């Protein structure tokens, strides 16, 4: 199919190429980080226009511009801002919101019983040697 329709492969690779260009060109990366909501929504709209043009949902006169322009900005849909390092309070898209009623993960307030740890470790090593 590559030899039969070489332009089709270039068109299908356009959103991926767009994401690569955005990732490697510093002004585009800064734009995606500074205006994240706007650029992400633009990328999703571009991806929808790209898909609609490929599927044939648009009028014939709009197909080529929608595929080319939509594919060119579709790469912005791949970028999220870096996670803030605020002790786990900030959560990202596609993850669950933190529950306030659950205890925070960490070490319990009870001290570690090292004698029990050594006893259990010795039992485990004994079973390993006996079975091995």
Domain coordinates of the chain in residue numbers?
1-81
**Which has more confidence, 90 or 18?**
18
Is the overall model pTM greater than 0.85, yes or no?
no
Largest CA distance in the chain: 79
- pLDDT for res 89: 47
Cα torsion at 85, 87, 91, 96 (round to 10°)?
Answer: 150
What is residue 1's predicted lDDT score, i.e. its pLDDT? 44
pLDDT, one tens digit per residue, over 81-123 is 665 554 544 444 444 445 455 555 566 677 788 899 899 888 8
pLDDT tens digits, 22-55 = 989 989 888 888 888 899 999 999 999 999 999 9
DSSP secondary structure letter of residue 101: S
| Res 97: pLDDT | 46
């Amino acid at each position: 199919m590559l030899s039969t329709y070489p332009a089709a492969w270039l068109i299908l690779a356009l959103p991926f190429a767009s994401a690569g260009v955005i990732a490697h060109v510093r002004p585009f990366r800064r734009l995606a980080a500074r205006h994240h909501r706007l650029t992400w929504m633009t990328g999703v709209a571009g991806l929808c226009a790209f898909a609609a043009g490929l599927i044939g949902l648009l009028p014939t006169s709009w197909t080529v511009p929608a595929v080319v322009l939509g594919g060119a900005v579709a790469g912005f849909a791949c970028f999220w801002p870096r996670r803030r390092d605020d002790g786990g309070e900030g959560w990202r898209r596609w993850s669950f919101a933190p529950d306030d009623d659950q205890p925070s993960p960490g070490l319990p307030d009870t001290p570690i019983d090292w004698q029990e740890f050594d006893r259990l470790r010795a039992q485990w090593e004994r079973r390993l040697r006996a079975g091995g």
